[in-house]
Amino acid sequence: MNTIPALLQAFGNMFQPMPLLAVFAATIISLIVGVIPAITGALVVIMVLPFLFGADPIVAMPFLCALLASSGMGGAITSVLTGIPGDNANGPAAIDGFAMTRQGQAGRALGLAIGAAVMSVLFGVVFSILIIPLMTPILMSFKTVEMLLIILVALLFLAVLTKGSRVKGLISAGIGLTLSCVGLQQASAIARLTFGNMYLYDGIEPATVLMGILAVPTLLELQAEGVAIAPVGALAAGKLIELFKGTKELFTKHLWTWLRGTLIGYLIGIAPALGSTTAVWIAYAQAKQASKNPDEIGKGSPEGIVAPESARGVCASADLLTTLVFGIPGSSIMVVFLAAFLMMGIQPGPTLVIEHTALAFQMILTMGLSVLIGAVICYFGAPFMVRITQVSPHMLFAVLMPIIVLGAYVTREFGVDIIVIGITSLLGLSIKRFGFSAPSIILGFVMGNLFERFLVRSLDLYGVGLFWSSPTALVLSSIIVISIFWSPIKSQIERMRGGKVAAKGQSA
């Protein structure tokens, strides 16, 4: 593999007129689509695939990469300004970003989200290019047991996602895991919680659960209050200077949060099958656990935006790297990329990087170029975007509710999905009313099937010895033990320190 010549050739190909025009067009399309709730960049990639048959790979493949790279940025705009996730991976941004918008800080929240995403994508691009020769030993260490333990670490973070009550956090996680069990059990094909309804055999669509739990209750709450999303005069918060202040704050106050979220996103991304939706909730949970003010996360905390958006941004380049190097889809949408390679006469797998090194580098670099173009568009378009926060909630409800219902339907074209979104909306309203955790439910739902699959395989292979079956497994097991006992130990230490301070005060 001639790395340097191939990298120079990739730069040359990327800035040829047709590939550059394709990336620019894909970025515009991706941002527009990303802003529409439930219509994701992945869906657009699937829709355009048939039209790429016979296309030049140095144009077509970067076009697909740009479509995927910038859609989450458009989704972050919708999430921050309306509280409705533009994509499944924008769920955490909808919680804290929208809370900041309602406080009149929409520009600051957008600056944090866009800055975190752009920096993490650029990090992922550079890091992916550097570690391509080292990928084999890294990925070979992530086997079934390691996958299970990574998910178990994430599930242990669930309790910290609920303010005030770890018990409610665990109950919320249990609800999410229960929802994930609906449908046919993967190993035995036994129907679970289907109540004889064939529609439920395929399980519940993730977008339907996300919309029902996060989006609809938010819209109903705005409708009931009858006031605009943000306070009067909050349009000033959408000025360009406010976005730059938010991005500057990322570097001055939240750089460690960004770095942790980025590393989590990259590690989850290179592991096959986990994907960005898993990464963002793990990063969100970890940010709350590491925060000095954990109770503020969920109420409009910058950390609640920076951590998940950085994980989401970097995850795509890590997914792509796994797909290019091994021919193993890093996430579900990467299956479409493998199909695109076959359509163009390129054989996916380890030989791809060796035989088409320049194309592999060009695809990775294109993700960085796309988000830079998207960031410029978002920064200068923000003053117009923020005007949505002054729209009447009645009009917002009338426009967005049909889009949510349509989004629930078009995913699988099942009319029953509309009924399911109504049921999950009632669940979302109950969560708000009784103080349970929406993020915990969603994380449990997203991780449930993967957890069950890897648990069954690991027990078949190693039994209870799975926790020390490899050095990587032993490290992850140690992290699990620390996660379980760290909080009680930390609380005890703080109580002891408090008692010493009180004793000194009395003696004085």
Mean pLDDT, the chain, rounded, equals 77
DSSP state of 211: I
Which pair of tokens denotes residue 211?
């919309």
Distance CA 59, CA 20 (A): 8
What confidence score (pLDDT) does residue 38 get? 53
Q: Render pLDDT for 14-68 as a digit per residue (tens, 0 to 9).
A: 888 998 999 999 888 888 777 766 556 666 776 677 677 677 888 888 898 888 8
Calpha distance 176→260 (Å, rounded): 25
pLDDT-derived band at 233, boundaries 50, 70, 90: very low
Q: Over range 312-337, report the average pLDDT.
A: 76
pLDDT at 216 over 70: yes
Provide mean pLDDT across the span 424-444. Answer: 81
User: Which of 52-66, 230-244, 358-372, 463-477 has the highest average model confidence (pLDDT)?
Assistant: 358-372
The model's pLDDT over 252-311, given as tens digits with 9 standing for 90+, comes to: 888 888 998 899 888 888 776 567 777 888 888 888 877 777 778 778 888 888 888 898
pLDDT digit string (tens) for 396-419? 778 778 877 877 777 677 778 888
Is 491 a member of any domain? no
| Position 139 pLDDT exceeds 60 | no
Please write the tens of the pLDDT for every residue from 170-198: 788 788 888 888 888 777 778 888 887 78
226 occurs within a structural domain:
yes
- 230: which residues sit within 8 A by CB, 6+ positions away? 101, 102, 103, 104, 106, 237, 386, 389, 390
Select the highest-mean-pLDDT range: 114-123, 232-241, 345-354, 486-495.
114-123
Residue 9 domain-assigned (yes or no): yes
Count of structural domains, the chain? 1
Residue 230: pLDDT above 60?
A: no
Among 60, 36, 31, CA closest to 48: 60
CB-CB neighbours of 126 under 10 Å: 14
Q: What is the pLDDT of residues 72-88, one digit of tens each?
A: 787 788 788 777 777 77
Greatest mean pLDDT among 1-10, 42-51, 92-101, 483-492 lies in: 92-101
Q: For tokens 């998940």, what's the residue? A: 308
DSSP string, 274-296: THHHHHHHHHHHHHHHH-SSGGG
The 10s digit of each residue's pLDDT in 123-136 is 989 888 888 767 65
Q: Is residue 496 situated within a structural domain?
A: no
pLDDT at 232 over 50: no
Residue 184's beta-bridge partner residues?
A: 191
pLDDT band at 89; cut points 50, 70, 90: confident
Q: 32 lies in a domain?
A: yes
Question: Would residue 476 count as lying in a domain?
Answer: no
Would 493 be classed as within a structural domain? Answer: no
Any domain includes 483: no
Q: Which domain holds residue 393?
A: 3-469
